[in-house]
């Protein structure tokens, strides 16, 4: 069965049950991330955790039903390509566990996809710093959306509602920062790319808007992330927001 046909069979409006953070599994240091086929064709391993059995089993079953995705137990998340965390609110404990899940000393990091009822701008920035690559709002979510977000995240995108990132941009523009702006470390072309990424555009859409090739956009983002010693393009957007240049 193809991925497309499987997605069509998933419940498009299935509610994800609210999950209290107290039952999220304890996190152990993770091992290096295996290389993933950028085309999305190769097998992808996903670890899922939730506090109630119905939500956890439903998410695991829907992901496992898709060709090319293998769901591993949360205890084996160190072998996963991506971790999915479902919780109803953000707490210091959740943020700490996200950081522990994504962190691999002297090695690649495991991307973490967060499913949550709501998240503040401050919490979003904090979560990005700890390794979050995407945020899905539970009330607007179907299981098929999780499948799509997993694949997008592993292609290097940052799935999250554009209005969420847009709110961050608007707030940073209006806020008066006491810190010295650091925008000088970004070129005008890099700023243009990051601004469109912050608006929720994919790599291909950014390339189309700026009349560059998709490879050029990927190279620009890679250069920014590498030069600033960041983890991913989401952190690059957060950096630009803090610097007050978006």
Are 43 and 156 found together in one domain?
yes
pLDDT for res 46:
93
Q: Could you read off the pLDDT of 59-102 as tens digits, one per residue?
A: 888 888 888 899 998 888 888 899 999 888 888 878 887 887 77
Inside any domain, residue 166? no
- The verdict on residue 228 lying in a domain is yes
Same domain, 193 and 134: no
| Whether 73 and 194 share a structural domain | no
168 is a domain residue: no
Domain that holds residue 222: 183-243
Q: Are residues 140 and 189 in the same domain?
A: no
What is the predicted pLDDT for the residue at 3?
Answer: 40
Q: Both 94 and 128 in a single domain?
A: yes
Based on the domain organization, do 27 and 135 belong to the same domain? yes
Q: Per the structure, how many domains does the chain have?
A: 2
Is the pTM here over 0.75, yes or no?
no
pLDDT of residue 136: 92
Does 116 share its domain with 232?
no
Q: What is the model's pLDDT at position 184? A: 53
CATH number of the domain enclosing 238: 1.10.10.10
Render the burial of 1-24: b for 16+ CB within 10 Å, e for the rest. eebeebbeebeeeeebbbbebeeb
What lies within 8 Å, CB to CB, of 22 at 6+ separation is 51
Asked if 26 and 95 sit in the same domain, the reply is yes
pLDDT tens digits, the chain, 246 residues: what are they?
444 444 444 444 445 543 334 333 333 333 333 344 444 456 889 999 876 778 788 888 888 888 889 999 888 888 889 999 988 888 887 888 788 777 655 556 788 999 999 888 788 878 887 888 899 998 878 888 888 999 888 888 888 888 777 766 666 666 544 444 454 578 889 999 999 998 889 999 999 999 999 999 999 999 999 988 888 888 888 888 877 777
Could you tell me if 194 and 95 lie in one domain? Answer: no
Last-in-domain residue among 160, 194, 216: 160
137 and 56 both lie in a single domain: yes
Point out the domain boundary residue: 102, 126, 160.
Answer: 160
Is 167 a member of any domain?
no
Rounded to 5 degrees, what angle do the CA atoms 203, 120, 130 make? 60
* Of 94, 128, 160, the domain-final residue: 160
Residue-level pLDDT at 135: 92
CA distances from 129 to 123, 149, 202 (A): 10, 19, 21
User: How many residues are there in the chain?
Assistant: 246
Q: What's 62's domain CATH number?
A: 3.40.50.2300
The answer to whether the beta carbons of residues 46 and 86 sit under 8 Å apart is no
Q: In this structure, are 101 and 205 located in the same domain?
A: no
154 and 121 Cβ atoms separated by less than 8 Å:
no
């Amino acid at each position: 069965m193809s991925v497309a046909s499987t997605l069509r069979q998933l419940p498009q409006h299935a509610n994800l049950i609210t999950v209290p953070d107290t039952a999220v599994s304890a996190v152990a240091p993770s091992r290096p991330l295996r290389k993933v086929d950028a085309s999305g064709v190769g097998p992808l391993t996903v670890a899922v955790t939730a506090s109630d059995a119905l939500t956890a089993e439903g998410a695991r079953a829907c992901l496992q039903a898709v060709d090319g995705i293998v769901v591993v137990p949360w205890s084996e998340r160190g072998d996963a390509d991506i971790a999915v965390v479902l919780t109803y609110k953000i707490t210091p404990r959740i943020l700490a566990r996200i950081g522990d899940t994504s962190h691999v000393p002297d090695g690649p990091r495991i991307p973490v996809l967060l499913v949550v009822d709501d998240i503040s701008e401050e919490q979003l920035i904090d979560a990005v710093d700890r390794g979050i690559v995407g945020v899905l709002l539970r009330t607007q979510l179907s299981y098929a959306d999780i499948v799509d977000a997993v694949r997008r995240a592993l292609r290097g995108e940052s799935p999250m509602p554009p209005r969420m990132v847009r709110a961050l941009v608007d707030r940073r523009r209006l806020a008066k920062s006491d810190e010295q702006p650091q925008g000088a470390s970004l070129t005008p072309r890099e700023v243009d790319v990051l601004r469109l990424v912050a608006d929720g555009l994919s790599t291909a859409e950014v390339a189309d808007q700026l009349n560059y090739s998709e490879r050029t956009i990927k190279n620009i983002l890679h250069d920014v992330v590498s030069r600033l010693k960041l983890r991913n393009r989401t952190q690059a957007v957060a950096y630009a927001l803090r610097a007050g240049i978006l």
